[in-house]
A and B are shown apart, each in its own frame.
Chain A
């Protein structure tokens, strides 16, 4: 009996401990209270109000630019005059790193051309056409601090803002007729006192500080000795490549360049944003207007002697060192007066053409720590650009809710949805074997992958008509091109193949007239992802479905005798990420030869270093935007004595005129970052005959090569197969290979939102339903405004024949909101027939989709505003309220525990010791009776 009691004692404690665990704070559910100011939605609308939806605000401006010369008597004479026309492709709704196409005509031809027009070396060009991003507006009606000036124009290096001369006290800029006397001083702009780090002064110096958005003034100086903005860098290759462009005007007066605009996300010191106005400034350098005798300045500031004045005049009027169109030659000093070095000189600055830039509200408006907890959706990077425009809309509209899109591998996201770890995912396929729990795969976008490239043709101009077929992709991916002589001579399997894709007859037939590289690793590989992605699965499916490509992979030589890399022979496709199978290592003789000390220090599989796939799609996009080669075989500054320098690095940015990079990118990033994308072979194989002539003929006719434009996407979308079992759509590559597929872009991929229809918390389910409703309706409006669908996605609308996709998403939204485990069928009629059951009818009439019938996807979803509704109101900063969290447990836990402990302890003690109490009480009474009357109770314990 005693023992049993002891055990029950122990058991009771354990049971209590377990039940106490059940107490854990259910009351701590935070009710987010983010309420942006009433007009915040207007902020978004305002940013776009300057442009009509869908337009990009292209601008054309014309200006006559002149150079004048003043003689000793102050008489002026125009010596050069040009009527320059500038064309900018987009000026509104700009986003960070967006590429603008800038073309111009009528400018003075450039001389002393440099390879990289974005490098500081461009300052040495004569008559360059300079493009820079400057903060402020070019108007006299605004405060001086909000006006552009050379001080608010961005340059990446300090050398572009500092000029010193050790040969003369009268360099050309001191003779600038239009400069103020201060600007013509011997040490113009020098900070006072002169920073000690800058050493002693040269004979003359011109300092141009940079004024950051926060007002900080960075004086710059020689090699930045007096301080530079944190984003600037005198070492090339670190950070983003510079966007300051020393454009080259051809001898016909024309030129073109792509200019990458930056927001505060890329460059906080420059600080351009939707609220801080910036300007694209084009400076057609015409040369300093010479006034060597100082007739345009007060007598006191003129050169002190006539001899000096003559020197000044002579320096300024010096002859050009280069003929128009001539390339820069080492050792030749360009004429300072007409070089890009003096872009800030008043003579050049007054010739500027200013184009105001209007930036869109950036998604980082959502990143305020104390705001509501955002809904997280994981998965496909194909949707990046769309979510980048939807996100700011969702987080600033108080009827919506903030969400974030975390990029992960599509397959991993599907697994997490299946396992219940996450609530929603974006992906492009049904999982193999389908979901084992009710999950809708609602189409949210029609897009795809693209093969991005930067290739310069024989004239050094950017090639824009690249055509590729599946076999060429297979050749690149299998590392079947040697790329350089080392591999050719030592790699047994591929030595006889063409050195690079540019010498492959198949490629030449499709893309005639491109320069042929016999030793170039970057022209032998396709940059792809090392992580899993559905876009890689799609690309390898496309390769696998091509009979020629499949035969090549299985070991059959192509008509010109090229064979597959033996390491990949017979590879089983499709795959989610491309495997690196070639383990060829450079022979010992090469390693010991010391040609590449980094490689000698850590020899690895050569072909894998050449292919060097990246984990992030954003890296590939960046590389395709700036023509950066990812081939990891470079050894800059490799010193065998110092092993810390022996690190293999990527080749880096290629010089314009000789660029050749290719990589797989999302279709949406093509227009976002101004990339070029290849047309892919579609439809039945035109070259079954196999000879180069028939392939060339097919290529020239061009009918069977399709780009990822609207027409190509829409043709492919109609060929998607309805997978009735998985209740979703899938890409049928056999259909794309049929005659029907000749106009369909084979890289097409739909993106689905995978959302469970059971087990989600009610609030999240409602939010996800709102999200699906939004993207199926308002979100499919094409445009560059926040909340709209950017280019690169084919809107899921009736006009595009995709009404049933949007309709399905609306029905899916209802099922998600209901959370009854119902997954709608692709055809609404199937549900009605099968139904009568509560589930089906509930889902179809559920309040998640009210008003939006499947066939009318253009009806705005509930709780969403059309952006134009608030147009015209002034923008205000988005204000947030502290969200605050509450915990019921925290509030009542401790007092309740104390109270309960007291009550239970008292009650338990009373019961347990009642006998003893009674005895004591009895004893007390006896004692009381014995004592004389009138005495107190004696402080004994009493029964109350």
Chain B
């Protein structure tokens, strides 16, 4: 007891001068600049993301869907179960399309032409007959995003072949002509053995025309050989017409949900960065945010016109 030396309790020192003496930090002006600069950079980054998604990333999504559709169509063709007339569920594969000159190689055509279906590949317009059947069959395809299956239609020349395989056989069409707004529509095929294929996509004009797909263009091709009898035809849905967006309550609801996911991802990343480590937050947060952003972009792009 006596050996223990009592150590004095440290006294609380009350300082009365300013906590940081001297002039305020040099970066005050800079701080305001940073506050303005951040949103600008974020907007710029966001725009870059949109462009990167539409032009670079969405083709992967399309290619993934094509793989799935190809194997589905392959099975159905082998089993003789490929559809030959309405009703066909939207998004189901209906035909295999090859246009050598336009770089279209074994693209699977899906039923329906809303923005959702055209994310998977070229779409068959409901209200027209299927390819190979008597009448006019209309296919729509994107010109810019989602691998732009119809982006190179401008290379087509009269006489180029178009090959389509459906459950009713393989049909070869020959490109006849392209037309734009105001050009006369060729008379409907009357002869029971005639068929026409009309490819619809969007093209721009002038400088950087490939990046400005603004007007519809129709490429007509006539069937060489004999058409098969037309199957039942579904009615045209308004938002499946060219250049229409697909705005449905369902899409918007999913979009709202996916935006919440995105917000959650951001909050989570921010929280991790504050509470954990910067490096850790980047490693964990980036994939989360990119994944959520991808989902949001995929849904939001359904609100863009279907041919872009």
Contact = CB atoms under 8 A, between A and B. Distances in A.
B51 A24 contact: no
Contact of B183 (A368, A881, A915): A881
Interface string A267-288: 0110000000000000000000
A905 B46 contact: no
A885 B242 contact: yes
Contacts of B144: 890, 894
A943 interface: no
Interface in A894-918: 894-895, 897-898, 900-902, 904-905, 907-912, 914-915
Interface in A868-927: 877, 879-895, 897-898, 900-902, 904-905, 907-912, 914-915
A25 B305 contact: yes
A894 B211 contact: yes
A885 B191 contact: no
Interface stretch (B14-22, B79-87, B159-167, B213-221): B213-221
B37 A901 contact: no
Given A884-B215, A887-B214, A893-B308, 6 more contacts: A30-B243, A368-B185, A883-B181, A884-B182, A885-B243, A900-B47
A301 to B, nearest CB: 37
A689 interface: no
Interface string A1-43: 0110111111111101110110011001010010000000000
A269 B180 CA distance: 33
A30 to B, nearest CB: 7
A277 to B, nearest CB: 16
Nearest to B143: A890
Contacts of A20: 46, 50, 300
A371 B307 CA distance: 18
User: Which residue, B204, B215, B305, has most C-beta atoms of chain A within 10 A?
Assistant: B305
A221 B68 CA distance: 48
Interface in B21-73: 27, 30, 33-34, 36-48, 50-51, 54
Contact of B214 (A18, A21, A888): A888
B94 interface: no
B180 A884 contact: yes
A17 B300 contact: yes
Nearest to A273: B190
Interface string A209-244: 000101110000000000000100000000000000
A13 B46 contact: yes
A369 interface: yes
B124 interface: no
Given A6-B273, A30-B241, A908-B41, A368 B263 contact: no
B46 A16 contact: yes
Contacts of B182: 33, 881-882, 884
Across the A-B interface, the 8 shortest Cβ-Cβ residue pairs:
A884-B181, A10-B266, A908-B40, A891-B214, A912-B37, A905-B44, A911-B37, A908-B41
Given A214-B191, A904-B41, A908-B41, A886 B267 contact: no
Interface of A: 2-3, 5-14, 16-18, 20-21, 24-25, 28, 30, 33, 212, 214-216, 230, 268-269, 368-371, 373, 406, 877, 879-895, 897-898, 900-902, 904-905, 907-912, 914-915
B105 interface: no
B308 A230 contact: no
A889 B184 CA distance: 26
Contacts of A2: 274
Interface in B95-132: 125, 127-128
B180 to A, nearest CB: 6
B44 A904 contact: yes
A678 B82 CA distance: 48
Interface in B182-212: 182-185, 187-188, 190-193, 198, 202, 204, 208, 211-212
User: Which residue, A17, A268, A890, has most C-beta atoms of chain B within 10 A?
Assistant: A890
Given A14-B262, A889-B305, A28 B47 contact: no
A879 B184 contact: yes
Nearest to A902: B44
Given A214-B193, A881-B184, A900-B47, A9 B38 contact: yes
Nearest to B190: A214
B37 A882 contact: no
Contacts of B190: 214
B245 A885 contact: no
Given A14-B259, A33-B181, A9 B42 contact: yes
B243 A28 contact: yes
B223 interface: no
A28 B308 CA distance: 11
Given A884-B182, A885-B215, A890-B213, A905 B202 contact: no
Interface of B: 27, 30, 33-34, 36-48, 50-51, 54, 125, 127-128, 136, 138, 144, 179-185, 187-188, 190-193, 198, 202, 204, 208, 211-216, 218, 229, 235, 238, 241-245, 247, 255, 259, 262-263, 266-267, 269-270, 273-274, 296, 300, 303-305, 307-308
15 contacts: A13-B262, A17-B259, A20-B50, A25-B243, A230-B229, A368-B185, A369-B125, A373-B238, A891-B212, A900-B47, A901-B44, A904-B43, A905-B41, A908-B39, A910-B37
A895 B193 contact: no
Contacts of A897: 47, 50-51
User: Which residue, A28, A371, A889, has most C-beta atoms of chain B within 10 A?
Assistant: A28
B298 to A, nearest CB: 13
Contacts of B241: 30, 373, 885
B192 A214 contact: yes
A894 B38 CA distance: 23
Contact of A25 (B185, B262, B304): B304
B266 A13 contact: yes
A30 B263 CA distance: 36
A920 B47 CA distance: 29
A369 B40 contact: no
B183 A882 contact: yes
B300 A21 contact: yes
B238 A230 contact: no
A212 B193 CA distance: 12
Contact of A892 (B212, B238, B304): B212
A28 B305 contact: yes
A17 B300 CA distance: 9
A901 B51 contact: yes
A371 B128 CA distance: 13
B260 to A, nearest CB: 9
Given A268-B192, A882-B180, A908-B37, A887 B46 contact: no
Contacts of B180: 882, 884
Nearest to B242: A885
Contacts of A879: 184-185, 187
Contacts of A885: 181, 215-216, 241-244
Contacts of B263: 10, 14
Contacts of B127: 369
B145 to A, nearest CB: 10
Contacts of B47: 897-898, 900-901, 904
A661 to B, nearest CB: 27
Nearest to B183: A882
Contact of A18 (B183, B213, B259): B259
A895 B187 CA distance: 38
B47 to A, nearest CB: 4
A894 B303 contact: no
Contact of A370 (B34, B50, B218): B218
A251 to B, nearest CB: 44
Given A884-B181, A884-B215, A887-B214, A912 B38 contact: yes
A212 B192 CA distance: 10
B191 to A, nearest CB: 4
Nearest to B180: A884
Contact of B308 (A8, A9, A887): A887
Contacts of A16: 42-43, 46
Contacts of A21: 255, 300, 303
